[in-house]
């Protein structure tokens, strides 16, 4: 899976660069989710802290996924592998759909009095600084963050208890997002490796990206909690921290998968969960809004 020295120097990405299973298709699907009075204020296990944490993650997606798209697109012209070219197109389309759906969710959160617009502006300024880095370093950051989102996606699809904590009005959005994050989990990584990306780059940027993501997500969560402080509950917050970081917590249980990225021979598809994706795609089709049903057969397959 290593690129040759000649290829790395020329910047040409060789053929046979994709390592996504043949059974996995990477195609975008607009869903048309709606967020209204049916969505409770605390939609994750009726918990104050965890709900604001997930709201904060949603705020990160539109700007963050645009950064992912830009970092992959910078190497698009060098790709020779037709399969990887198709996957890059699918990756870009899927990330665009994620941004649209999470924009709608974020608007719903903003209508609850949360400072979403200010947080999005702060994130944009941070990413503008990151864009000053060399293009391959930006791609290494994308690989790291795509690994984190893929870990979270796999957790959501694998664990019934985690999905059960999501209110029924929000579950389809996050399951659909998890499906597509899993489908394209190796695209940025395959482009990075074949563009001459090194182990040192990807290891360093996972450490850095995890730290920055942790700080920013915690900062955004805290801002939402402060805005919603009249409903603060010490007991509820402690329960939420245990749900995230306790034994079998949603975040603490990701640590082994996070560490797996540091294996020199790591690849995102070392864990082939394509059958799990196929299972959930059958279930999520019923949640496509009527106006997007016409594209169902072409995009969900």
Written in H, E and C, the secondary structure of 2-40 is: CCCHHHHHHCCECCCCCCCCCCCCCCCCCCCCCCCCCCC
Average pLDDT over every residue of 248-260: 97
**Tokens 């910078």, residue located:** 74
pLDDT tens, 171-228?
Answer: 999 999 999 999 999 999 999 998 999 999 999 999 999 999 999 999 999 999 999 9
Comparing CA positions, the residue from 144, 132, 134 lying closest to residue 64 is: 144
Domain boundaries, the chain: 39-299
**Distance, CA of 69 to CA of 89 (rounded, Å):** 10
Q: For the chain, give the percent of residues with pLDDT over 90.
A: 87
- H or E element: which one contains 48? helix 48-73
**Distance, CA of 279 to CA of 77 (rounded, Å):** 34
Predicted confidence (pLDDT) at residue 5 exceeds the cutoff of 80: no
Give the pLDDT confidence score for residue 2 in this predicted structure: 39
pLDDT tens, 68-120?
Answer: 999 999 999 999 899 999 999 999 999 999 999 999 999 999 999 999 999 99
**Distance, CA of 37 to CA of 169 (rounded, Å):** 10
Comparing CA positions, the residue from 147, 134, 6 lying closest to residue 75 is: 134
Give the pLDDT confidence score for residue 300 in this predicted structure: 40
**Distance, CA of 3 to CA of 285 (rounded, Å):** 39
Pair of tokens at residue 162 = 């985690």
Largest CA-CA distance found in the chain, in angstroms, rounded: 62
Could you tell me if 220 and 56 are in contact, meaning their C-beta atoms sit under 8 angstroms apart? yes
Could you tell me if 277 and 25 are in contact, meaning their C-beta atoms sit under 8 angstroms apart? no
Predicted confidence (pLDDT) at residue 8 exceeds the cutoff of 70: no
Give the pLDDT confidence score for residue 101 in this predicted structure: 97
For residue 126, count other CB atoms closer than 10 A to its CB.
15
φ and ψ of 79, to 5 deg? -75, 125
pLDDT band at 17 (very low <50, low <70, confident <90, very high): confident
């Amino acid at each position: 899976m290593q690129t040759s020295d000649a290829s790395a120097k020329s910047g040409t990405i060789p053929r046979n660069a994709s390592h996504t299973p043949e059974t996995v298709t990477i195609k975008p699907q607009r869903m048309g989710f709606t967020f209204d009075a049916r969505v409770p204020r605390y939609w994750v296990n009726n918990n104050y802290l965890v709900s604001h944490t997930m709201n904060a993650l949603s705020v990160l997606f539109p700007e963050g996924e645009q950064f992912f798209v830009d970092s992959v697109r910078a190497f698009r012209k060098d790709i020779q592998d037709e399969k990887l070219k198709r996957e890059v197109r699918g990756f870009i389309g899927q990330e665009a759909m994620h941004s649209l759906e999470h924009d709608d969710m974020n608007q719903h959160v903003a209508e609850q009095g949360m400072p979403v617009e200010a947080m999005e502006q702060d994130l944009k300024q941070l990413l503008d600084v990151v864009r000053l880095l060399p293009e391959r370093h930006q791609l290494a950051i994308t690989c790291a963050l795509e690994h984190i989102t893929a870990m979270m996606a796999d957790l959501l699809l694998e664990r019934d208890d985690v999905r059960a904590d999501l209110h029924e009005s929000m579950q389809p959005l996050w399951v659909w997002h998890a499906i597509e994050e899993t489908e394209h989990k190796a695209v940025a990584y395959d482009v990075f490796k074949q563009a001459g990306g090194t182990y040192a780059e990807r290891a360093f940027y996972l450490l850095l990206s995890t730290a920055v993501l942790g700080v920013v997500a915690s900062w955004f969560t805290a801002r939402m909690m402060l805005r919603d402080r009249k409903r603060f509950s010490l007991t509820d917050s402690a329960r939420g921290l245990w749900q995230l970081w306790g034994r079998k917590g949603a975040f603490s249980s990701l640590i082994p998968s996070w560490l797996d990225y540091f294996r020199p021979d790591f690849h995102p598809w070392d864990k082939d969960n394509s059958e799990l994706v196929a299972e959930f795609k059958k279930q999520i089709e019923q949640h496509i809004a009527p106006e997007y049903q016409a594209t169902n057969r072409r995009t969900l397959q």
